[in-house]
A and B are shown apart, each in its own frame.
Chain A
Amino acid sequence: MALNIVLVLLYLIVIFYLGYKGWRETQTASDYMIAGREINPYVMAMSYGATFISTSAIVGFGGAAALFGFSVIWLTFLNIFVGIFIAFVFFGKRTRKMGRRLDAHTFPEILGMRFESRFIQGFSALVIFLFLPVYAAAVLIGISRFIEVSLHIPYWAGLLGFSVILALYVIWGGLKGVMYTDALQGTLMFVMMIILIAFTYSHLGGVGHAHQALTDMANLVPAKLKALGHMGWTASPKSGSPLWWIVYSTIVFGVGIGVLAQPQLSVRFMTVKNDASLNRAVLVGGIFILAMTGIAFTVGPLSNVLFFQKFGKISIAMAGGNIDKVIPLYISKIMPGWFATLFLLAMLAAAMSTLSSQYHVGGTSLGRDFYERGLGKTSGGEITATRFGVGLTILFTIMWGLFLPPSVIAIATAFFFGLCSSTFLPMYTAALFWKRVTRKGAITSMVGGFAVSFFWLLFVHKKEAAAIGLCKALTGKVTLLGYPWVVVDPNLIALPISIILIIIVSLMTPRMDDEHVEKCFDW
């Protein structure tokens, strides 16, 4: 315990030092600019990977995999194929070039400039600023649950303590010098995950034996889960069952596709020097993501076998019904003590890198995109607005972290990814690939996708509609539609509508100025 705390403190000192070093280097601006930002592909891929993958993916989705089973592994496939390959090769290259051409520095800005619309920039920024804290809270909850289990500190105290340390890190320059820290944090996460999978598989007699042992436990699935469509941890849920919809529409599709329109990830493409760096980053990124979510979604289900062998209980019973505690418990109860300490450091790293980039995006969304460009205020208040934005994002994240219920990490993450997907993805894709798209088409798609998403959440999707209660208050019914619609993820409805809107409205409205469009695509 004392050793754990000493190691955590030592680690934090190193991270603070690296953050400060990065910050110092941004102060020597002229050298920096002449050289261009020499980010090598390893650092770029690690930085993207460490921003993409966090305690949310490892603790939250790993815990969800422990409950739902190996079917969640389909999300790993999408994380690699869509989140790395398609994102880097197709979206990344064009985002980088268009970003340079238009001198855009944030996600709302590239959209606003491509469509020559302050409304698009302001509206996107506001959506990000208001809802990003829900996702950031998922990351914060992940690390706080880890601290709770491994350091035996109450959840709320861990959450507040970590937030204070992170706030100090941010003030120390942590938002500016992310290159060194991300590379270090990504590397640490990678090494720990490899040890985790090697230990788990070797303990269970190899890959095939481990999976078979879990297959043989299908009779231990609780009756309540069986009724929802659970067919065992190595099988897909029953086709069309509530669990099937949750796994495939919310977790796999919502998060797997939503990654393409993540504001904190797409800005990473703009910092890359050339296409060759992106090509090389595909290699590093693919391996990194397999080692992160692939291992988390494998160890999650297999934790049932090890917990059952050692304690006679399946994972969800070990965690007292809170899936967010499964992975922390696995690390502290099953893995060796030295590993648990180092893994805690890796999780601190994962949370710090993702949260700092989220705070960065929250701040620039409010300051640069909403206040300066959206509202058109340029009298110097944008600096205050940016800092105010960072502060509010931190505050909202803490509040969500304290008030959201247990077992919420995966759901909160999927909410933000789904919302970004239905609000931004058709517009962002068209901005990069379709010269005929018009400003009105983009606005209709953005506002339409956002509105349909929220309508579905408040009036149809039972989990949220029942909890919020607006539908019941207005119509007397808990939801407007019946099964299966009540378990269909909002994104699965809102994204197609958003796509249809952008195509139809663009074709019905006059083309954008040819000269501007040519400028956007001149690379």
Chain B
Amino acid sequence: MLGFADSLTAWGYILSFLATILCIVYGLVNWNKGTESEEDYRRSVEWEREEIEVEDRLP
């Protein structure tokens, strides 16, 4: 199959493409799903504040 000597290797090759297609389809279908709530936003801002402190300690 596809010039490979055995089907196990050919399936590894094919499944790599199928997994990519799964990622593309999932991304497109769920493109706008999962926007953040007000509470989520408030936590994000708190989290950012601390994150900047963490980064400030780096060289």
Interface residues of A (CB under 8 A from B): 26, 29, 32-34, 36-37, 69-71, 73-74, 76-77, 80-81, 84-85, 89, 93, 97, 99-101, 103, 105-106, 170-171, 175-176, 207-215, 218, 231-232, 234-236, 270-271, 273-276, 278-287, 289-290, 294, 298, 360, 363-364, 367-368, 382-383, 386-387, 390-391, 523
Specify which chain B residues have a CB less than 8 angstroms from the CB of A231 in the assembled complex: 5-6
The DSSP consensus for interface residues of chain A is: helix
User: How does the 8 Å CB contact mask read for B27-49 relative to A, with 1 for contact and 0 for none?
Assistant: 11011111110001101111111
Within the complex, the shortest CB–CB distance from B16 to chain A, in Å, comes to 4
> Are B54 and A176 closer than 8 Å at their CB atoms?
no
Specify which chain B residues have a CB less than 8 angstroms from the CB of A33 in the assembled complex: 45, 48-49, 52
> Are B41 and A287 closer than 8 Å at their CB atoms?
no
Known contacts A85-B26, A283-B26, A383-B57; is-contact A290 B3 (Cβ 8 Å): no
Interface residues of B (CB under 8 A from A): 2-6, 8-9, 12-13, 15-17, 19-20, 22-24, 26-28, 30-36, 40-41, 43-52, 54-59
Specify which chain A residues have a CB less than 8 angstroms from the CB of B5 in the assembled complex: 215, 218, 231-232, 234-235
Q: Which of B12, B35, B58 contacts A363 (CB 8 A)?
A: B58
Could you tell me the distance between the alpha carbons of A176 and B58 in the complex, rounded to whole angstroms?
A: 8
Q: Which of B12, B16, B51, B58 contacts A71 (CB 8 A)?
A: B12
Could you tell me the distance between the alpha carbons of A103 and B32 in the complex, rounded to whole angstroms?
A: 26
Could you tell me the distance between the alpha carbons of A155 and B18 in the complex, rounded to whole angstroms?
A: 39
Nearest first, the 8 closest Cβ-Cβ pairs linking A and B are: A286-B23, A275-B34, A283-B27, A211-B3, A212-B3, A279-B30, A235-B5, A80-B19
Could you tell me the distance between the alpha carbons of A70 and B11 in the complex, rounded to whole angstroms?
A: 11
Could you tell me the distance between the alpha carbons of A41 and B20 in the complex, rounded to whole angstroms?
A: 17
Specify which chain A residues have a CB less than 8 angstroms from the CB of B19 in the assembled complex: 77, 80-81, 84-85, 286, 290
Specify which chain A residues have a CB less than 8 angstroms from the CB of B26 in the assembled complex: 85, 89, 279, 282-283
Closest to B42 in A: A100
- The contact sample of 18 A-B pairs, CB cut-off 8 A, is A33-B52, A36-B48, A70-B4, A80-B23, A85-B22, A105-B47, A105-B54, A106-B54, A170-B59, A208-B3, A211-B4, A212-B3, A274-B35, A274-B36, A275-B35, A276-B34, A287-B24, A386-B58
Within the complex, the shortest CB–CB distance from A93 to chain B, in Å, comes to 7
Specify which chain A residues have a CB less than 8 angstroms from the CB of B51 in the assembled complex: 37, 105, 271
Could you tell me the distance between the alpha carbons of A286 and B16 in the complex, rounded to whole angstroms?
A: 10
Known contacts A171-B59, A215-B4, A275-B33; is-contact A70 B12 (Cβ 8 Å): yes
> Are B46 and A103 closer than 8 Å at their CB atoms?
yes
Of A36, A97, A286, A382, chain B has the most CB atoms within 10 Å of the CB of A286
